[in-house]
Amino acid sequence: MKKVISGNQAVSQAVLAAKAQVIAAYPITPQSSIVEMLASFCASGELPAKFINVESEHSAMAACIAAASVGARTFTATSSQGLALMHEMLHYASGLRFPIVMANVNRAMGSPFNLKADLSDSLSQRDTGWLQFYCESGQEVFDTIIQAFKISEQVLLPVMVNLEGFILSHTYEIVDIPEQDRVDAFLPPPAERPILDVEDPSMMGATTDLYINFRYKMHQAMEEAKAVCQKVDEEFRTIFGRGYDLLQTYRCAGADIILVTAGTIAATCRVVADRLAAQGLQVGVSKIKLFRPFPQEQLRRALAEAKKIAVIDRDFSPGCGGILAQELKSALLGSNPDISVHEFVAGLGGKDVTDDHIAWIVEEVMKAREPEGIKWIGLLE
Amino acid sequence: MDRPARIKLPLPQEEFMYSGHTACPGCGAALAMRYVFKALGPNTMVVIPPSCAGTIAGAFPFSSVKIPILRISFETAAISASGIRAALDVLGKKDIHVLAWAGDGGTLDIGIQALSASAERNDNIIYVCYDNEAYMNTGIQRSSATPAGAWTTTTPVPFTKDTPKKDIVRIMAAHKIPYIATASVGFPPDLVKKVQKAKEVVGTRFLLVFSPCPTGWRYSSEMTIRIARLATDAGIFPLYEVENGDQYLLNRRGWKAESLKEYLSLQGRYRSLKEQDIDKVKERVTKEWEYLLRLAE
Amino acid sequence: MKKRYSVKKLQDLPLTSITFLTSEANETGEWRSQRPVIDPGKCNRCGLCWMYCPDMAIGAEEECFTVVDKYCKGCGICAQECPNGAISVVVEER
């Protein structure tokens, strides 16, 4: 059934449809309406889950981990400071190999204090062993959360689904919410996995000098996860008639310049690409949907013929540069020797990234013979 | 000599810990685990943060405990127990006891936020704090449970801890949880009885178990039980229960000043205490007892 | 020191560090420098030594309580707490 709902509401509707069993909740702008809606689903009995009102995000993740340890399907949501506060627990969740799904509403990391869209919060958690997806529409948010439960329960790694604060979380779009029986057909109850069991007691998370071997197993799982994500997306397409791929390419074949980005900026890029095509300039757009594991093969294939790339980062790693740019450059190393990668940082702290900005980016890159360092968009004079 | 016809053991016989664990010889914390796990039985799951208990529980692939354990991060004992509780309830396994097992550091310091939250929600868990009065697993650093005047590596002489032990029982009583008790490895049948009583209560139950540490308190390992009993005799560690935050049940009403001197003199960590410091301890114990007796009326 | 079982192959490892053996493989009796000796003549089988042992290293047999040599760390609590003086502590000879 088609509804006009916000990105946050799409998250809550998906968690309801996925029949999460334990939900840990702590409010933080711009995520709070997710947990509020889930609270009302639980209160009305529509969602027969246990709803734990925790006292901090660190505890929210601890609660999810503990719930997962006995086999429950579990969910929480957060943003920036909350995500950072639970950093330690993110490692715990992936190291214990528990399937947990979390929605992260991307928001700038303080200080200075800012409540608006910025991908630095989740991108700076890229080493924690979580899979990461980035969404650009309410429909994609809903669908990705449903897929996330299935993926996490197959690869036995936790999955983070990201949506930009306010730009996506608080804007209303048409979202098709499928009938429950179709969701049930796609997302069965989780398969058996190691859990705490009084009939067969063991200690999970014990101290070990064989640590490197367990990390290797996690590495193997991450490698296999790419194929699992692909397969789950295909299954989704079969049942629901729509899919997303790990990397979405638009007008990339034969493009003079390809814009690479994540999140809602990609939508603006496509609008600009269409406009410039009418003027005879071939602009392609490559949207990174799956960021962890990094879709190296897909990216190399998409950019195999490209000459110029502009990476637009709504994030920034001080002392290094845009994070998407770094990941892309290291993925491309050794593949396409003719490519030049131009780096742009835009939209930090929710600053609007407009079609004019994108058009300017294209102009700059077409002008430049080689990359001229990181260019920042939207600064004061 | 008259021998009894059959052995009658002072506690339930079945063990829920295995020998071969790596606790120090004479460890009070190991005794606390042994007794509480005995009292709870096999239908129990426990979460353990980094601590002596975490080390005693074993290293991969060995466990020294007969019930399932989740090793969790330091601050999260209470919320991890709450999370398991919520999941078990949703999955229909409401008869399994969920136990949070943490030391004084993990409870009074880094874990107090999560503990307060679980208590405020009255989550249906049993939280046991085994108190060896310092961060022992990391090498005897002070915690807020370290008593005034005690030596630790981070309160070396002459800068021994100058503030009194944080009163976690009073803090938990303020949360009005259904059952709180202090217990000691020096009085195992009393401890077992309290755990069995706690088992029957629904809601957050908190037990503080006095667990002397030969390594950190600087005494010869065979004195663990003697020192535990002296602490209660001396009024330093009173045994009492609190129901619903305001009904105080004192398990013993008196205390002996003579025991105080013996208690302190047996432990190397109090070696720097002078006569006037011991008088101050006596004052504090007297005051605490007046307060407790008033509450118990 | 006795060699303990350890996992040899990567494929034999579980998903994460989930234990599958007990600590009984670890013979902590090797630690001690002194050992308790129980005099069956003085033992009245009150069970206090069994109760107070942190390592469950006192066996409660019908006739008398015995020291479990494999695990006893020699802490001496049993000797200290025995009400009948039935347990003495001697130097461990190896």
DSSP sequence for A214-281 = HHHHHHHHHHHHHHHHHHHHHHHHHHHS----SEEEES-TT-SEEEEE-TTHHHHHHHHHHHHHHTT-
- pLDDT score recorded for residue C63: 78
Could you report the per-residue pLDDT of B259-277, keeping only the tens digit for each? Answer: 999 999 999 999 999 999 9
Q: Give the per-residue pLDDT at B1.
A: 46
Which residues of chain C lie closer than 8 angstroms to B63, CB-CB?
19, 21-23
pLDDT band at residue B4 using 50, 70 and 90 as cut-offs: low
Decide if B184 is inside a domain.
yes
* CA atoms of B236 and B288, how far apart (whole Å): 9
pLDDT at residue number A337: 85
- C-alpha–C-alpha distance, residues C44 and C64, integer Å: 8
Query: Domains in chain B: how many in total?
Result: 1
- Hey, which chains touch C, using 3+ CB pairs under 8 Å? A, B
Instruction: Indicate the pairing of strand B44-48 with strand B69-71.
Output: parallel
Beta bridge partner(s), residue A343? A311
Residues of chain A with pLDDT under 50: none
Distance, in angstroms, between C10 CA and closest chain A CA?
Answer: 7
Contact of A99 with A190, CB cutoff 8 Å: yes
**B34 closest CB neighbour out of C54, C62, C68:** C54
Distance CA B112, CA A116 (A): 32
Which DSSP state fits A168? T
CA neighbor of A203 nearest in space, from B286, B131, C63, B59: B59
Residue for token digits 């709450």? Answer: B82
Q: What is the pLDDT of residue B234?
A: 97
Residues of C in contact with B214 (CB under 8 A): 75
pLDDT of residue C94: 80
Residues of A (75-114) whose Cβ lies below 8 Å from C: 95-97
Q: Do B72 and A92 touch (CB under 8 A)?
A: yes
The residue with greater pLDDT, A185 or C7, is A185
Q: Say if B136 falls within a structural domain.
A: yes
8 Å CB contact of C17 and B60: yes
Q: Across chain C, which distance is largest between two alpha carbons, in Å?
A: 55
Question: Does residue B14 belong to any structural domain of this protein?
Answer: no
Single-letter amino acid, residue B61: P
Question: Does residue B11 form part of some domain?
Answer: no
Residue closest to A54 by CA, chosen among A93, A17, A26, A91: A26
Residue B95 lies in a domain: yes
Q: How far is Cα A215 from Cα A223, in angstroms, rounded to an integer?
A: 12
| pLDDT one-digit tens code per residue, B226-251 | 999 999 999 999 999 999 999 999 99
What tokens appear for A51 in the block?
Answer: 């709803």
Q: Residue window 188-227, chain B: list those with CB within 8 Å of chain C.
A: 188, 214, 220-226
* pLDDT class of C1 with cuts at 50, 70, 90: very low
B5 touches C: beta carbon within 8 Å = no
Strand partners, C36: C89
Domain housing B232: 28-295
Q: Is residue A215 less than 8 Å (CB to CB) from chain C?
A: no
CB C72 within 8 A of CB C31: no
- As a residue count, chain C comes to 94
User: Which amino acid, residue B181?
Assistant: A
Render the burial of A303-316: b for 16+ CB within 10 Å, e for the rest. beebebbbbbbbbb
The candidate with the shortest Cα–Cα distance to B177, out of B211, B156, B155, B207, is B207
pTM of the predicted model as reported, rounded to 2 decimal places: 0.97
Touching partners of A (3+ C-beta pairs < 8 Å): B, C
Beta bridge partners of A51: A23
Q: Which domains does chain A have, with CATH numbers?
A: 2-240 (3.40.50.970), 247-376 (3.40.50.920)
Question: Are the CB atoms for A210 and C5 separated by under 8 Å?
Answer: no
Q: What is the DSSP string of A54-107?
A: -SSHHHHHHHHHHHHHTT--EEEEE-HHHHHHTHHHHHHHHHTT--EEEEEEE-
User: Residue B6: what pLDDT?
Assistant: 65
Of the residues B11, B19, B55, the best mutation for testing chain C's interface (the one with the most C CB atoms within 10 Å of its CB) is B19
Please report which confidence band the pLDDT of residue B179 belongs to, taking 50, 70 and 90 as the band edges: very high
Gap from C74 CA to chain A (nearest CA, Å): 26
* Residue appearing with tokens 């001080």: A318
Tell me: pLDDT of C3 over 70. Answer: no
The whole-angstrom separation of Cα C72 and Cα A233 is 59
User: A–B: how many Cβ contacts below 8 A?
Assistant: 145
Closest-CA residue to A106 (of A83, A130, A74): A83
From the CA of A364, how many Å to the nearest CA of chain B? 49
Helix H or strand E encompassing A296: helix A296-302
Mutate to test the interface with C, among B222, B223, B227 (most CBs of C within 10 A): B222
Which residue in chain A is spatially nearest to C10 when comparing CA positions? A213
Q: Please state, in angstroms and rounded to a whole number, the distance separating the CA atoms of residues B131 and B208.
A: 7
Answer yes or no: is B99 within a domain: yes
Checking if the pLDDT of B5 tops 80, the result is no
Domains and their CATH numbers in chain C: 27-91 (3.30.70.20)
For residue B240, give the CATH number of its domain: 3.40.50.970
Neighbouring chains to B with at least 3 Cβ pairs closer than 8 Å: A, C
Q: Residue C5: its pLDDT value, please?
A: 58
CA distance A235 to chain C (A): 26
d(CA A35, CA A43): 12
Q: What does the alpha-carbon distance between residue B151 and residue B149 come to, in Å, rounded to a whole number?
A: 7
3-state SS, residue B184: strand
Question: Which of C7, C10, C17 faces A205 most closely, judged by CB atoms?
Answer: C17
Q: Any chain A CB within 8 A of the CB of C11? A: no
Structure tokens at A38: 């889930």
Residue A285: CB atoms within 10 A of its CB come to 26
Rounded mean pLDDT, B100-108: 98
Q: Is C91 on the interface with A (CB under 8 A)?
A: no
* CA dist., res. A66 & res. B51, Å (int): 18
What does the DSSP 8-state code read for residue A188?
P
Residue B18 maps to a domain: no
Is there a domain that residue B199 lies in? Answer: yes
Per-residue pLDDT band at B86 (split at 50, 70, 90)? very high
Write down the residue that tokens 């996995």 correspond to.
A193
Token pair 């996860």 is found at A225
Cis status, amide bond into A293, omega within 30 of 0: yes
